[in-house]
Amino acid sequence: MGIEGAVNYRKISERVATSGSVSEDRLRQLRREGFDAVVNLLPDSSEVAVPKEREIVEGQGLEYHYIPVDFGNPTEADFSLFRRVMGNAGDKKILIHCAANYRVSAFYSLYAMKDLDWSWEGARRHIASIWDPADYPVWKRFIDKVSQDPRRGG
C-alpha cells in the first residue's frame, strides 16, 4: 500500500513523484519510502484533503509546502511560488500532489519546461497522460499563457 497506489501516481524521476489524492495511511509511510518533502497543491477545503496533513508529514521529519491552488482559478502567483519551492528543493526526494494530479501535472510540466529543459511536446504528453486541459478552459488558458510567455522564464 505504498505511494504508487495513490490516484494517478506518476514517477517522474528518482527524486520526484506526483499524484492525486493521498490517503492518510500513505502519507504516514512517506519517510519509509525515502521521501524528504511534500508539496501539496490541494486546498484544505477539498473533500479529499487529509485533515492535519501538515502535522502528519512534518511529524516524520519531512518538509511540507502548502500551495493551495484553486482549481477554478490557477494563478501565476501560485505557479511562481511552486517554481521557487521546486528550485530550492536541491536533491530532496519530493512527492507533489493534489486531488487528481491535474493541478500538479500542469504545474510540474510548466516548471520542467522552463527550468529542466523539457520540450513543450514532452510537457504536453505528460499532462495528456493524466487529463485533457481542454475540458477545463481556465486551465487551457493558464497553461497556454504561462508556457508561451517569455517573461515567465521560458
Helix (H) or strand (E) holding 139: helix 137-148
Q: Is the pLDDT of residue 152 over 50?
A: no
Domain coordinates in residue numbering, the chain: 3-152
CATH topology of domain 3-152: Protein-Tyrosine Phosphatase; Chain A (3.90.190)
17 forms beta bridges with 11, 95
In angstroms, rounded to a whole number, what is the distance separating the alpha carbons of residues 6 and 4? Answer: 6
User: Do you know the residue count of the chain?
Assistant: 154
Cβ-proximal residues to 81 (8 Å cutoff; 6+ apart), any chain: 67
Quick check: helix, strand or coil at residue 145?
helix
Span 128-135, mean pLDDT?
A: 97
pLDDT band with cut points at 50, 70 and 90 for residue 148:
confident
Express each pLDDT in 17-54 by its tens digit.
999 999 999 999 999 999 999 999 999 999 999 999 99
Mean pLDDT of the chain: 95
C-alpha cell at 140: 487551457
